[in-house]
C-alpha cells in the first residue's frame, strides 16, 4: 500500500494538492510572459489581465507548435539515448521500504558533458541556433505543460496495470495517487529508470541548456554578454555541474528514495525546473546589468563558496556512510548515533546518524548554502523587479517543507533514536534560529 500518512492536516493537504495541480500550469505561462513580454513587471501583467480579463489570459497563453514539439522530442530522445547507452559504473541505491535495492548506471556527468558540448557545437558550427529555443520558449513551456500532464496520467495507469516493483501501491484516492504517484521506482524495461530521466536527465539538464540559451540570446541580440548574465550563467552551470558530479548521491535523497513518481516530482521536473529555476537568466536576457568587475567577482566567489559548502555537506555524509562511521569529520572522529528500525517486511536494520561536522550545526544545514547560492545567481538582476527572486522564495518554502517532511518520516522510522538525535542537533535548518 502507498503511504497515506500526511504531514499536514487532510484539509490543508488536499487544498495544497489541488492548488498546485490547477495553479502551477498557468503560473509558468504568466512568469514567462512577464519576463519576456512585460519587462519583468508584475504590475504590467496585472494591469493587462485586469483590462483584458480571462480572454486576455487565453490570448497570452501560446499554443504548442510543431517547432516546440520537435525541439522537446529531439532533446528528450537525445537525453534518453545518453542515459541508456553511455557507459557508467554500477551503483546500488538505498534499500526501499519493501526491501528492494534499485541498481543504476552512473553516467550523468558524461551525459552532461556530451549535452553541453553538442549544444554549443551545433551553435558554433551554424547547424542549430539556440535563439530558436528562446524565441519559441512560450510554446515549448506550453507543450511541456500539456505533454507532461499526459505523461503523469500514463504513469498513474502504469502503476495500476504494470508496476516495475513491489514498491508500488494505491492510497485508494485518485487525486493523492496522481499527485504523489503510485510507483517509487518506475522503469521501462529493466534499465531505463523513469525518475532518473525526469529529474536528472530532462529537468536538471534543461536547466544548464536554458542557462546557455539565455546567454547566447543576449550575445546575439546585443553583440556582448553583460557581466551580470555571465555571473548568473556561470553560477547556474557550476551548480548543475556539482549536481551531476554528485548524481549517484542524489539517488539516495528524498526525491528518489522516498517520493513516488507522480505529478509532484515528475511534472515538477519536466516543467517547473526548466521554467522557474532558470527564470533569473530569462529576466536578464532583456535586462542586462553592468555590475563592474569587482562586484561581479564578489558575487561569483560568494556563490561558488555556497555551492561548494552545499556539496561538502552531502560529501561529508556520504563518506561517513561509506566508511561506516569510521572516517574523520573535520579532522576528528565523528559523533554519531546508532539507530535501529524495522522495515515493512518486519526485518530489523540499523543506520548511523551523523551528529558532528556540518550535520552537527543543524539537521538540514545543507539547505542554507543552497538557498544562498540561488540568491547569489539572482542578485545580478539587482532589485528593479521582484519577480526574478521568485525562485529564491519558492526554493526556501520548498526546502523548509521538505525538512519538515523528512523530519516526520525519520521520527516515524527511528522513534526514540530520532528523539535522541534531535536533542543532540536541536535546530532543523538555520543554526541558532530554526
Select from 319, 346, 331, 231 the least CA-distant residue to 281. Answer: 231
- Number of compact structural domains in the chain: 2
Per-residue pLDDT at 250 exceeds 60: yes
Per-residue pLDDT at 5 exceeds 80: no
Domain of residue 117 covers 1-290
Going from the C-alpha of 374 to that of each of 211, 246, 261, 351, the distances in angstroms are 14, 18, 26, 32
What pLDDT is attached to residue 8?
Answer: 55
Please indicate, yes or no, whether residues 8 and 84 belong to a single structural domain of this protein.
yes
Going from the C-alpha of 320 to that of each of 191, 298, 357, 405, the distances in angstroms are 29, 33, 10, 23
Going from the C-alpha of 314 to that of each of 156, 248, 305, the distances in angstroms are 32, 11, 15
Please indicate, yes or no, whether residues 204 and 58 belong to a single structural domain of this protein.
yes
Select from 268, 256, 371, 357 the least CA-distant residue to 314. Answer: 357
In the chain, the largest separation of any two C-alpha atoms, in whole Å, equals 66
SS3 333: coil
In the block, residue with C-alpha cell 487525486: 175
Give pLDDT tens digits for 129-149: 999 999 999 999 999 999 999
What pLDDT is attached to residue 97?
Answer: 79
Query: CA quadruple 370, 373, 378, 384: dihedral positive or negative?
Result: positive
Please indicate, yes or no, whether residues 302 and 282 belong to a single structural domain of this protein.
no
Last residue of a domain, one of 247, 262, 290: 290
Facing residues of 167 across strands?
Answer: none
Facing residues of 89 across strands?
Answer: 106
Helix (H) or strand (E) holding 7: none
Residue by residue, DSSP assigns 70-136 as HHHHHHHHHHHHHHHHS--EEEE-PPPTTS---EEEE-HHHHHHHHHHHHHHHHHTTS--THHHHHT
Please indicate, yes or no, whether residues 270 and 376 belong to a single structural domain of this protein.
no
Please indicate, yes or no, whether residues 186 and 322 belong to a single structural domain of this protein.
no
CB-based contact 195:102 (threshold 8 Å): no
Mean pLDDT value across the chain: 93
Q: Calculate what percentage of the chain has a pLDDT beyond 90.
A: 79
Give pLDDT tens digits for 205-248: 999 999 999 999 999 999 999 999 999 999 999 999 999 999 99
Amino acid at each position: 500500500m502507498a503511504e497515506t500518512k500526511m504531514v499536514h492536516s487532510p484539509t490543508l493537504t488536499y487544498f495544497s494538492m489541488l492548488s498546485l495541480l490547477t495553479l502551477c500550469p498557468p503560473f509558468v505561462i504568466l512568469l514567462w510572459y512577464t519576463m519576456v513580454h512585460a519587462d519583468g513587471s508584475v504590475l504590467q501583467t496585472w494591469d493587462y489581465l485586469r483590462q483584458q480579463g480571462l480572454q486576455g489570459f487565453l490570448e497570452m497563453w501560446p499554443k504548442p507548435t510543431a517547432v516546440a514539439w520537435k525541439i522537446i522530442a529531439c532533446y528528450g530522445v537525445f537525453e534518453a539515448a545518453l542515459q541508456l547507452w553511455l557507459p557508467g559504473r554500477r551503483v546500488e541505491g538505498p534499500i526501499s521500504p519493501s526491501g528492494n535495492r534499485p541498481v543504476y548506471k552512473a553516467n550523468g556527468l558524461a551525459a552532461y558533458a556530451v549535452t553541453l558540448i553538442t549544444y554549443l557545437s551545433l551553435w558554433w558550427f551554424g547547424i542549430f541556433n539556440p535563439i530558436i529555443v528562446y524565441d519559441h520558449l512560450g510554446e515549448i513551456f506550453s507543450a511541456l505543460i500539456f505533454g507532461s500532464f499526459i505523461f503523469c496520467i500514463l504513469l498513474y495507469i502504469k502503476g495500476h496495470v504494470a508496476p516495475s516493483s513491489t514498491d508500488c501501491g494505491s492510497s485508494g484516492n485518485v487525486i493523492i495517487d496522481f499527485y504523489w504517484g503510485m510507483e517509487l521506482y518506475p522503469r521501462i524495461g529493466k534499465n531505463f529508470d523513469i525518475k532518473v530521466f525526469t529529474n536528472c536527465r530532462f529537468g536538471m539538464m534543461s536547466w544548464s541548456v536554458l542557462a546557455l540559451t539565455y546567454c547566447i540570446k543576449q550575445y546575439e541580440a546585443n553583440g556582448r554578454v553583460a557581466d551580470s548574465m555571465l555571473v548568473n550563467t556561470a553560477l547556474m552551470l557550476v551548480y548543475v555541474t556539482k549536481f551531476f558530479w554528485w548524481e549517484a548521491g542524489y539517488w539516495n535523497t528524498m526525491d528518489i528514495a522516498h517520493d513516488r513518481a507522480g505529478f509532484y516530482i515528475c511534472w515538477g521536473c519536466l516543467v517547473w525546473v526548466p521554467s522557474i529555476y532558470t527564470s533569473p537568466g530569462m529576466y536578464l536576457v532583456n535586462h542586462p546589468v553592468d555590475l563592474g568587475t569587482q562586484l561581479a567577482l564578489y558575487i561569483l566567489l560568494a556563490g561558488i563558496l555556497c555551492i561548494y559548502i552545499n556539496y561538502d555537506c552531502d560529501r561529508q555524509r556520504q563518506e561517513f556512510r561509506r566508511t561506516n562511521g569510521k572516517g574523520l569529520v573535520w579532522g576528528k572522529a565523528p559523533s554519531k548515533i546508532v539507530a535501529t528500525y524495522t522495515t515493512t517486511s518486519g526485518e530489523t536494520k540499523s543506520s548511523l546518524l551523523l551528529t558532528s561536522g556540518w550535520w552537527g550545526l543543524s539537521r538540514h544545514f545543507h539547505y542554507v548554502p543552497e538557498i544562498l547560492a540561488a540568491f547569489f545567481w539572482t542578485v545580478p538582476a539587482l532589485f528593479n523587479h521582484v519577480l526574478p527572486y521568485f525562485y529564491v522564495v519558492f526554493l526556501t518554502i520548498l526546502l523548509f517543507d521538505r525538512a519538515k517532511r523528512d523530519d516526520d518520516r525519520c521520527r516515524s522510522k527511528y522513534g526514540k533514536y530520532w528523539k535522541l538525535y534531535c536533542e543532540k542537533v536541536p535546530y532543523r535548518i538555520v543554526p541558532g534560529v530554526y
